[in-house]
Amino acid sequence: MNEEPYLPPREPGEGPAGTASSCLWTLWIWFGPTLVVPFIFLFTAAVLPLGVLLSIGFLILMGSFSVGRKMGKEGTRAEAWRVLLYVVLQIVWIPLFSFAVLWGICAINGGMKI
Amino acid sequence: MPPIGSPLYVLCLVAGIAFGAFFWLRQSRHDPALPLIYFGGLAFAFLGAKLAFLFAEGWLHLGHPDRWTIWLSGKSVMGALPGGWLGVEIVKKAIGYRAITGDRFALLIPVPLMLGRIGCLSAGCCGGIPCSFGNWPAVPVEIAFQITALSALIWMNHRGICRGQHFHLYLIGYGIFRALHEFLRSTPKPFLGLSGYQILALATVVAAWAAFRARRRAEASC
C-alpha cells in the first residue's frame, strides 16, 4: 500500500514543480556539494579538521534546507532522519566520485576499472 | 602495466550519471522522495563498486608501489549493481517508501553501463584473455550484452511482462552472464581458479533470485 506523497512547501526562489528553476534547485541540492566540498578542502588544506567541520556544517545546512523541509513534516523525527541520510550519502558519494574524476582527468597511472 | 586514466572515461562516467539524474529529477515532479532514493542508489553503487574491487583484486596490490592510486581508482560494476540495490532498499526503508522502483531503475542501468564500457575501451582496461585470434573482445561483448538487456527490458515494459521484477531479472541475467564471461576475461583468479567478480556475480544471482521469489510470493498473497 503506498503512502500518499507529501507535497512540499516551495523554497524561496524555487519555481513550481517541473520548471527550469525547480530542476536547477534540485540539481543544486544533490550535486552542488560535489563541487563545493572539494573546494572547501582545497582552501583549508593546511587545517584538515577545519575542512571536515566546515564541510559537514555545509552538508547539514544543505540537508536541512532541502530534503528535511521538502519531504518531511517539520520538527518530526522523519525530518532529522532525512537530513542525516542526506549527509551520510553525500559523505559516501563525494570522495568516491571525486577520485574517479581526478583519476580520469589527470590520466594518472595505475587505475583499474573492471 | 595497469591502464592509465582517460578523460573520455570521465566524460562517459558523468554522462551516465547525468542520464540517470535527468530521468529521476523528471520523475520527482510527481514524487519528491525519488531524488533521495536515486541518490541513495548512486552513492551505494559507488561504494559497492569500490568494495568489490578491493575484495576481488585490490588486496593483491598490497606491495605495489602505486597501491594507493590503484585502490582509489579501482571499481567494479559487479559491486555497483548490488551496492546500488542495497542503497535504494536502505533509503526506502529509512523513509518508509513502499512503492516499487526497480522497473524504472532496470531501464536506466544498461545505458550508463554501455557508456562506462566505452570509457573502458578508451582507457584500454577490462580486456580479455589471449586466444587464437588475438585478445578476447571482452568489452564489446559486454556492450552487446547491455544492448540485448536494454532491448529485452523495453520489450517487457511495453508488453507489461513481469511487472515489478525487471530489476531482479536484470541482476539474474547479468550475474549469470558475468559469472561465465569472467572465464574469458584477464582478471586475477585467486579463489580456487575463480575471480572475486565471479563470486560476487554468483552471490548477486542468488540474492536477486531470492528477491524475485519473495516478491512473487508477496504478490500472490495479496
Asked if the C-beta of B1 comes within 8 angstroms of chain A's C-beta atoms, the answer is yes
E strands in A13-112: none
pLDDT at residue A75 in the model: 53
**Nine-digit cell string for B216:** 512473487
pLDDT at residue B1 in the model: 41
Asked if the C-beta of B56 comes within 8 angstroms of chain A's C-beta atoms, the answer is yes
Q: Is residue A108 scored above 60 in pLDDT? A: no
Q: What number of C-beta contacts closer than 8 Å exist between A and B? A: 155
Q: Does the distance separating the beta carbons of B57 and A109 come in below 8 Å?
A: no
pLDDT digits (tens, 9 = 90+) for B43-56: 999 999 999 999 99
pLDDT at residue A7 in the model: 46
Nearest CA-CA partner of A84 in A100, A95, A72: A72
Q: Does the distance separating the beta carbons of B98 and A18 come in below 8 Å?
A: no
Taking the complete model, does pTM exceed 0.90, yes or no?
A: no
**Nine-digit cell string for B50:** 569500490
Q: For residues B61-66, give the mean pLDDT.
A: 84
Q: Does the distance separating the beta carbons of A112 and B73 come in below 8 Å?
A: yes
Q: Alpha-carbon distance B157 to B150, whole Å?
A: 10
pLDDT at residue B116 in the model: 84
pLDDT digits (tens, 9 = 90+) for A63-75: 887 775 555 455 5
The separation between the first and the last C-alpha atoms of chain B, rounded to the nearest angstrom, is: 56
pLDDT at residue B50 in the model: 93
Q: Alpha-carbon distance A27 to B119, whole Å?
A: 24
For residue B122, what are the contacts with CB-CB under 8 A and spacing of at least 6? B6, B8, B9, B12
Q: For residues A22-42, give the mean pLDDT.
A: 86
DSSP for B25-93, written as a single string: HHHTTT-TTHHHHHHHHHHHHHHHHHHHHHHHTGGGGTT-TTHHHHHHH-B-HHHHHHHHHHHHHHHHH
The torsion angle over the Cα atoms of residues A110, A99, B108 and B102, rounded to 10 degrees, is 110
Q: Is residue A86 scored above 80 in pLDDT? A: yes
What residue spans define the domains of chain A? 20-106
Residue predicted with more confidence, B8 or B174: B174
pLDDT digits (tens, 9 = 90+) for A12-31: 444 455 566 677 888 888 88
Residues of A in contact with B80 (CB under 8 A): none
Q: Is residue A77 scored above 70 in pLDDT? A: no
Amino acid at A25: W
Asked if the C-beta of B152 comes within 8 angstroms of chain A's C-beta atoms, the answer is no
pLDDT digits (tens, 9 = 90+) for B159-218: 989 888 999 999 999 999 999 999 999 898 999 999 999 999 999 999 999 999 999 888
pLDDT at residue B143 in the model: 94
pLDDT at residue B96 in the model: 84
| Chain A nearest-CA residue for B195 | A114
Residues of B in contact with A17 (CB under 8 A): 29
Q: Which of A97, A100, A113 sits opposite B126 (nearest CB)?
A: A113
Q: Does the distance separating the beta carbons of A71 and B36 come in below 8 Å?
A: yes
pLDDT digits (tens, 9 = 90+) for B69-127: 788 878 899 999 999 999 999 999 888 888 888 888 888 899 888 988 888 887 777 88
Q: Is A75 left (phi over 0), alpha (psi -120 to 50) or beta?
A: left
Q: Does the distance separating the beta carbons of B28 and A90 come in below 8 Å?
A: no
Looking at the complex, report in whole angstroms how far the Cα of residue A43 sits from the nearest Cα belonging to chain B: 22
Is the CB of residue B77 less than 8 Å from the CB of residue B35?
Answer: no
Q: Does the distance separating the beta carbons of B40 and A89 come in below 8 Å?
A: yes
Q: For residues A48-58, give the mean pLDDT.
A: 91
| Chain B nearest-CA residue for A78 | B95
Half-sphere exposure in the Cβ direction for B60 (13 Å, CA): 14
Q: Which of A89, A105, A109 sits opposite B43 (nearest CB)?
A: A89
pLDDT digits (tens, 9 = 90+) for B119-154: 888 777 788 899 888 889 999 999 999 999 999 999
